[in-house]
Structure 1
Amino acid sequence: MDDDAEVPRVLNHGDEGERRPGGEEKEERKRTRPPSSYGSMKSDSDEREYEVEDEDDEEDCVDCTFPDTFKFESPAPAAAGFQPPRSASPETLYTMTTQLTKPPGAMVIHTRAADFLEDDEEKEEEEEDDILYADSPEPPEPVESDEVMQTEDNSQPGRLHPLQDLPHIFKSVLATLRRLTREELFKFKLCFSQWQSFVTVPELMEGDVLDFVDKILEVLGQDCSLLDTLRTLKSVNKVAEAEELRKTCDRAWIRYHLKTYLIRKHEVIHEGIPRPGKRNRLDTIYVQPQISVCGFGGVDPSHQIRPQPPSPLQIPCVDTSVRLNDLFRLRKEDGRPVRTAVTTGIPGIGMTVSVGKFCLDWAELRANRNLQFIIKLPFHSFWRLRDSPPPSKMMSIMEVIEYHHLECKDMKCLEEADCKFLIIMDSFDCYQATLDWENSPVLTDSHAPAHPDVLIVNLIRGNLLPGAFVWILGRRAAVSQIPAELIDVVTEIQGFSDEMKDDYLTRRFTDGALAANIVAHYQRLPMLRMLCRQPFICWMVATLFENSYRYVGYGVKPPKLTPFYINILVVQTNRKLQFYYNQTENNLKWSSKDKDMLMQMGKMALMMLEKNSSVFFEEDLKEQGLKLTEVTVFSGLCTELPAATSTARRTFCFIHLTYQEFMAALYVFGKFHMESQSKNVLDSMSKTKIFAVKGQSKLAAGLLHSALDRTLRAPLGQYDMFLRFLCGLLCPGCHKTMLEGNLFPHNSPAVAGLGEVQQLLEKTIASAPQERLANLMECLRELTQEDA
């Protein structure tokens, strides 16, 4: 019997004129069977006509199609058994689009039995709605439910591949179970009930095979139904049938395992140090940042004091924004779809979290359902493969995929023309080797082993797995080595708008009062509100303020700024040690090399302030003995600005101008605090003294005196934030509590003479110009306020 013909059988009443004597009992059974939720699904061939067969009789009935002009309703449940309510299939609803008219020359088939027809004209009019037209046009494609449709504006609803969609699973499971004998099917149903508690044994025993498949798909869904069917077939020693079904539904089977892995990995977001009982679902707290195909480097030029950033820091241009899930619906200039996309942004802008949200939306059928598979191949995995195996153990790209996803073994469909899938290559900056884009050998065989360098180059070139979409993410200074001709589109994550910041901070807390307090508190500090453009800073604000509001009386004074910058420095340095140098979370230790690098970066930042410049170049790093990759990629404090042309000079800057000012202050304070002679690096630079501080050139007041001299003689904004950070670092709560054990040794003494520093600062405020007054008051608060 044709399996496709069995699918619509439960909806067909047959023609009474074709019914043989003795068929009343079978007809009554058909009439009381609830309609299949999948009865109106079409087979793979749109032109194939269904053949209707009686289950126990080999004689064919009249071939027919089914009307779209009425709504099927489930009959009342029988008294003898339990019949759960079934949802009507969306394809069978009566709608304006399903009203079909009789085409010229169409054959008319009456579906009612002749015994029930009357000759009067009234009855004939009532029966007109029950006429089927055999030559009527094909019904429209099944309407997808809202739960599996994309809801983003301007998005195209994706459709699952036919081999992954419900009709294929339905027919495949049905065809497999129809080959079982009556005893085998009975045993199968008993074993099947052990896997799920949602369907009882009496429910599974009701009806025939079609009813059984219909029931499990309706209650369990296609993935669980397929999985439990395969497990049950193996448990009843039908291994051959199980393997055949798995091969038939291979793409659906692999997609199920991939999406299970992605849901398990990204459903809960892990931020900072995990705390027992503290778990945040990504869907709950995620706010999509602004993403643009017209990037300017990702550096926000806004500043609290400076009216405009020092040239030549680029200013944001008119953006062309794109939604995260629409990234691979973009088109190139010639109209062809994008294959290779690169996404970049400054450190802490949310690239990794956005990847997790993209994968979670795909796995839960909310977006990009036209992608059959999403395969994650992060660059740090390639880097481990590059370092660990000798050349004799080189792997092919298919072996690399299987190594990371065991369920993808023998995925021959990846090389087929109709297979549309995405490979996500996150953290390009983790691959610390230089790739030879010009001289790498061409590799087209996906099963040929090769060096990881060669695999990466050929995958991005499109030689390996040419049907795959490739999404590369990394910091701009790292991804800039990829030749432009190999990239179809470059997108840039540009962070949160003001509304997004407040939305994110509100989503994180179930306590509405706490959320409102945190939002109001961080807005009291204008510079902190600017920094919260980075989702990483938003997370830090939420974490620090949540802990602080546990103390009675917190929030009366505005928050201090310096502790946030210290936290940013500590978190980014620890992340560098974990991510790039494989240190464990419980054994993070800043080496003397790490400390020296930070101090040299601070020295370079101070020199940039002296020149009133916001950018630096590779020769500036060499002058300070710094390595390009260490500073511009690994540190998490700097980024590369996009070059106007391919031959232009590479230009770098700190991720915000205030980071540059903080690092300059950190260098000045560090030299003063760590040197045995309390070195004042500003003393030799100050040619004129504003105040005479006798006997304090070696003390904190002398350091502040030099900083005040430099600040008040420079244009407004050049050194003002530098002075504020220096005052904040002089506070014991910052240099003693937060930096001791990291940048400074344990048990190092606190800075002495802060009373004189406060008096000097108050004296300066009393005679300061009006435009400097507000910042000097903030400097005094950074120095004296105890809470953060």
Structure 2
Amino acid sequence: MGNIPPSRKKDPPPEESVQQGASDTQIKKTDKTKRDFTAKHRWTPEQAELRSFLKRKCQHVVEGVPHQGDARLLHDIYTDLYITQGGGGVNDEHEVRQIERASWREAAQGRPIKCSDIFTPLSGQHKRIRSVLTKGVAGIGKTVSVQKFILDWTEGETNQDICFIFPLPFRELNLMEKRKVSLVELIQHFFTQIKDPKILSSSEHKVLFIFDGLDECRLPLDFRSNPRCCDVTEPASVDVLLTNLIEGNLLPSALLWITTRPAAAGQIPPECVDQVTEIRGFNDPQKEEYFKKRISDENLASRTITHLKSSRSLFIMCHIPVFCWILVTVVERTSEKSERREMPRTLTQLYTHFLIIQTCNKKEKYTERKERDEEMIFRLGKLAFQQLEKGNLIFYEEDLRECGIDVTEASVYSGVCTQIFREEAGLCHGRVFSFVHLSIQEFLAALYVFLCFSNRERNTPDQQQTSQLSALFRAATLHDLHKTAVDLALQSENRHLDLFLRFLLGLSLESNQNLLRHLLPQTSSQSQSSEQTVQHVRQKIRDQINSDRKINLFYCLNELNQHAVVEHIDRSSGALSVEMLLPGQWETRKLKFELSEEQLYGFDLQKYIKTPEEDLTEVLSPDDVLERLVPVVMPVATSAV
């Protein structure tokens, strides 16, 4: 299960208790239990110490940001995710596109695998599984699945043929980029419990290395040019140690488990991977189970589930556990103020509410820190935008300093935005920073661009704009900004700007701007009609051959509060073409209707559909639209795109 939301009804546990997880009395009991357990399983002292260390590290899930949320026992809240045997190759599509595509797959297409069984050959496989590559989009639950695997092992539940497990996240290995160490020294640096270097070289000990977060790796991983290294005591760069471990030159008997976002999977040569698995997140029943568990008010939980099913773009995103947390945070907080308050219908509306909630001090709501909040959000947005350009989810101190963020002030990254931006101190005491989820980074990046445009006199970017995205800052009107963003997103090969585009368009709605002004009172109003942008998006839908790109443009219309139906009238032939997104399927449908000259005159499709803003009680599906059109027009041809 991915990161779960923090409970606002409990005070965060002291950092000491989160790390140790017990009082002095409990520690004594734990030590006795550990000795009994060690004797039962005949573990060596080093094995016992390592297991005890890893258990303390893995048994709790700190909900939200480390050291600020509630620590819950992993066993109490863990829900198995859908893990399947994956295919090879690299998928560089935007991750939301992958989630949306995966949501229409039949479960039967995959072969479910338990997390504890990823090194077990599947039926029909006869080779030994040495290395496993697990793919999954950001926030889908890769790291927590690793945590569950380790915890079950420490408790003697599964994989007891493994003697030692060494989890080495890439975000921490990055901090040792300039050091030369042997593999033994590297292990002893992270795991002080390991005293005997012979452990790594002995064939009697089965060892598993877990490299979590390949997409966060800033090491070159040059498999072609790196020198060969076969001696665990030979000093080398961390990059060389990793490539030789993965290739099997170092410790060929060791097991390897690498997790990554899909776009980074290509960094590992296919011949070095014995099995590829994929974590697909929550299926539809698990989504409902999650909300019933997390929302204590049964009526609110039921209303939330019903609402989500009426909003395809939100319901699809709920495949990602972190997104479910964001949604629950907003639903619970907004329901406290008014039971009749409208639930968010678009991604932009949801994330705007989330930003306001997380920057609101419980005791001093919008009183003394308005200017500080505005400046902080702008700097975080600048960081989000710059790192989005570079494709980075993980940042380091120098990245923050470039954006004017003082890394020595805890309030800079936690006091103001407690659940948006986080710092982690790794095993080697380095400082690693990230947004809680990629979608939050994309929202803040879009907000940064919008703020630069709306307050150009104060917020002109001070850096040299030489990238392709620099064209956004030269836009003279809001429509120019939108048109440029749409065109840049369509030119992107891997669609990495798709969600950024949805947010940027959504921020132009007056309703979302009104929400933002509670938080950013100095933001200039951009009340310019979005009709030009709507027409531009619709024209792009008509021009696009690629169905995937069309679908994202339909979702862009949704962010602009326009029903995702596009019509075109050919007055010379008297034909009406209607294109729409099919509910529950990964395709669009195009239909043609023949109109009489009288019907053609002044035809307005909007008369037959309603936007969510016009009628909150009724959201028409494309089939509903067609039903209303039947009395008016006569279909002569139907085709699916």
TM-score range (shorter-chain normalised) is 0.5 to 0.7
Q: Write out aligned runs for 1:537-686 (5 A).
A: 537-555=323-341, 559-566=345-352, 573=384, 579-582=394-397, 583=400, 584=407, 586-588=411-413, 592=461, 616-617=492-493, 652-654=494-496, 659=499, 661-663=501-503, 665=505
Secondary structure at the counterpart of residue 280 of structure 2: strand
**Counterparts of 2:218 and 2:242 in 1: how far apart (Å)?**
13
**Counterparts of 2:483 and 2:183 in 1: how far apart (Å)?**
47
**Counterparts of 1:492 and 1:606 in 2: how far apart (Å)?**
36
For residue 773 of structure 1, what is the aligned residue in structure 2? Answer: 610
Secondary structure at the counterpart of residue 260 of structure 1: helix
Task: State the identity %.
Answer: 24
- 1:97-137 CA deviation, whole Å, 9 max, x = no partner? xxxxxxxxxxxxxxxxxxxxxxxxxxxxxxxxxxxxxxxxx
Assess, with a 3 A threshold, how the Cα gap between structure 1 residues 663 and 331 changes in structure 2: closer, same or farther.
same
Q: 1:707 is matched with which residue: 533, 558, 561?
A: 533
State the AA in 2 paired with 1:587.
V
For residue 641 of structure 1, what is the aligned residue in structure 2? Answer: none
Cα deviation, residue 443, structure 1: 1.0
Cα deviation, residue 320, structure 1: 2.6
For residue 517 of structure 2, what is the aligned residue in structure 1? Answer: none
> How many residue pairs end up in the alignment?
440
For residue 319 of structure 2, what is the aligned residue in structure 1? Answer: 533
Higher mean displacement: 591-600 or 430-439: 591-600
- 1:264-305 CA deviation, whole Å, 9 max, x = no partner? 22222123346878333322222222222234948566999x
**Counterparts of 1:463 and 1:712 in 2: how far apart (Å)?**
55
For residue 171 of structure 2, what is the aligned residue in structure 1? Answer: 380
**Counterparts of 1:357 and 1:486 in 2: how far apart (Å)?**
25
For residue 179 of structure 1, what is the aligned residue in structure 2? Answer: none
Q: Which has the higher contact order (CA 8 A, sep 6+)?
A: 2
Secondary structure at the counterpart of residue 365 of structure 1: coil
Cα deviation, residue 519, structure 1: 3.6
Cα deviation, residue 466, structure 1: 1.7
Secondary structure at the counterpart of residue 407 of structure 1: coil
For residue 425 of structure 1, what is the aligned residue in structure 2? Answer: 211
- 1:50-75 CA deviation, whole Å, 9 max, x = no partner? xxxxxxxxxxxxxxxxxxxxxxxxxx
For residue 263 of structure 1, what is the aligned residue in structure 2? Answer: 55
Assess, with a 3 A threshold, how the Cα gap between structure 1 residues 491 and 303 changes in structure 2: closer, same or farther.
closer
Secondary structure at the counterpart of residue 408 of structure 1: coil
Structure 1: gaps of 5 or more residues: 1-193, 199-216, 230-247, 618-651, 674-697, 729-765, 783-788
Assess, with a 3 A threshold, how the Cα gap between structure 1 residues 456 and 662 changes in structure 2: closer, same or farther.
same
State the AA in 2 paired with 1:586.
S
State the AA in 2 paired with 1:354.
S
State the AA in 2 paired with 1:346.
V
- 1:605-662 CA deviation, whole Å, 9 max, x = no partner? 967956996x833xxxxxxxxxxxxxxxxxxxxxxxxxxxxxxxxxx2349x6x2650
Assess, with a 3 A threshold, how the Cα gap between structure 1 residues 554 and 352 changes in structure 2: closer, same or farther.
farther
State the AA in 2 paired with 1:255.
Q
Q: 1:721 is matched with which residue: 547, 555, 565?
A: 555
For residue 285 of structure 1, what is the aligned residue in structure 2? Answer: 77
The structure with the largest strand share of the pair is 2
For residue 323 of structure 1, what is the aligned residue in structure 2? Answer: 114
State the AA in 2 paired with 1:707.
T
Cα deviation, residue 538, structure 1: 1.0
For residue 494 of structure 1, what is the aligned residue in structure 2? Answer: 280
For residue 354 of structure 1, what is the aligned residue in structure 2? Answer: 145
Secondary structure at the counterpart of residue 422 of structure 1: strand
Cα deviation, residue 400, structure 1: 0.5
Secondary structure at the counterpart of residue 471 of structure 1: strand
State the AA in 2 paired with 1:386.
E
- 1:228-249 CA deviation, whole Å, 9 max, x = no partner? x9xxxxxxxxxxxxxxxxxx96
For residue 416 of structure 1, what is the aligned residue in structure 2? Answer: 202
Q: Write out aligned runs for 1:226-237 (5 A).
A: none
Cα deviation, residue 336, structure 1: 1.5
For residue 223 of structure 1, what is the aligned residue in structure 2? Answer: 35
Cα deviation, residue 712, structure 1: 5.6
Secondary structure at the counterpart of residue 328 of structure 1: coil
State the AA in 2 paired with 1:544.
V
For residue 339 of structure 1, what is the aligned residue in structure 2? Answer: 130
**Counterparts of 1:779 and 1:599 in 2: how far apart (Å)?**
36
**Counterparts of 2:73 and 2:34 in 1: how far apart (Å)?**
25
Indicate if the aligned counterparts of 1:294 and 1:318 stay in contact, CA closer than 8 A: no
CA RMSD of aligned residues (A): 4.9
- 1:339-363 CA deviation, whole Å, 9 max, x = no partner? 1111122222221122112212222
State the AA in 1 paired with 2:51.
K
Cα deviation, residue 197, structure 1: 8.2
Structure 2: gaps of 5 or more residues: 1-24, 356-376, 401-406, 414-420, 422-444, 449-460, 473-479, 514-523, 543-549, 563-602, 620-641
Assess, with a 3 A threshold, how the Cα gap between structure 1 residues 771 and 560 changes in structure 2: closer, same or farther.
same
Secondary structure at the counterpart of residue 362 of structure 1: helix
Cα deviation, residue 413, structure 1: 2.9
Cα deviation, residue 705, structure 1: 2.6
**Counterparts of 2:464 and 2:141 in 1: how far apart (Å)?**
27
Indicate if the aligned counterparts of 1:285 and 1:507 stay in contact, CA closer than 8 A: no
Assess, with a 3 A threshold, how the Cα gap between structure 1 residues 380 and 275 changes in structure 2: closer, same or farther.
closer
- 1:720-778 CA deviation, whole Å, 9 max, x = no partner? 432442469xxxxxxxxxxxxxxxxxxxxxxxxxxxxxxxxxxxxx9543665346748
Cα deviation, residue 423, structure 1: 0.6
State the AA in 1 paired with 2:278.
E
Secondary structure at the counterpart of residue 505 of structure 2: helix
Assess, with a 3 A threshold, how the Cα gap between structure 1 residues 669 and 524 changes in structure 2: closer, same or farther.
closer
Question: TM-score when scaled to structure 1?
Answer: 0.47
For residue 54 of structure 1, what is the aligned residue in structure 2? Answer: none
Assess, with a 3 A threshold, how the Cα gap between structure 1 residues 702 and 342 changes in structure 2: closer, same or farther.
same
**Counterparts of 2:116 and 2:343 in 1: how far apart (Å)?**
42
Secondary structure at the counterpart of residue 410 of structure 1: coil
Please tell me whether Structure 1 or Structure 2 has the larger radius of gyration of its CA atoms: 1
